[in-house]
Amino acid sequence: MGRTKHKKIAGVRDLPNVFDGKHADPESEILRYFNNKNLITIELGCGHGDYTINLAKEFPERNFLGVDIKGARIWAGAKVSLELKLNNAAFLISRAEWLPEIFKNQKFEEILLPFPDPHVKRRTESRRLVSAEFIKIYKSLLISDGKVHFKTDNEGLYNFALKNIEEAGLTIYAKSENLYAEQQNDIYTSIQTRYEKHYLREGRIIKYICFGFDKNSIN
C-alpha cells in the first residue's frame, strides 16, 4: 500500500464531515453535523463522492451523504466538500447492509447507486446492490415516496436489477438501455463520475433505472 493511501486512511476519520459506521451513534453525529431538518439523499458506494458533491452544490437546501466502506476513497470527496464549504455534504464509512442498524430513526429522500460492483460470479450475486435483499433494505430506509437511482455499464447487472424490481412489484419511474443516446435534462442522469467518464471513453453504453415503492410492494 502506498504512503499516500496510508495517509488518507489514517486521516480521513479526523475530517469533520466524515463519520464512522462503527461508532456508537453515527446517526446522531451526522444529524448534528447537518444541523437542520432538511431531507437527506444517500449515495452508496460513493467513491470520490461525485454525486454527493455535485448535488450538494446544485441543491443547497437539501442534505447529501456519501457512503463507502473505503476510507481512502472518501477522503478526496470529503476534502473537496470542505474546500467548497458544502455544509450540506457529509460522508459515512460503512457497508450498505449496516445502514438499517445505523439509521433507526432517519428516513431518506433518495438513494443513488452509481455503478455498483456487478459481482459477476453467481455465488456473490446476493452482494449486488440491486439484489432482492438490498431492495428490501432500501424500502426500510426511504420515505414512502422515496426513489432509487441506479446507473451501470453492465448489461447483466441491469437485467438482474430489472428482474428483481419487477418481481417485487415496484414502480419504475424511468429506465434507459442507452442513457446518452436519449435527450436527458435530469441532473441525476447527467452527472458523470470519474469511472463513468472512463467507461464512456471506452465506448461503453450506460444504462439507468429510477424506481420506487408503493404500499403493495415487498411486505
CA 169 to chain centre: 22
Q: What is the SS3 assignment for 66?
A: strand
Strands 108-114 and 40-44: parallel
- Region label for 92, one of left (φ > 0), alpha (ψ between -120 and 50) or beta (otherwise): beta
Q: CB of 152 within 8 A of CB of 158? A: yes
Alpha-carbon distance 129 to 150, whole Å? 9
Residue 8 C-alpha cell reads as 488518507
As annotated, the active-site residues are 117
Number of residues written out for the chain: 219
Q: CB of 66 within 8 A of CB of 55? A: no
CA 85 to chain centre: 21
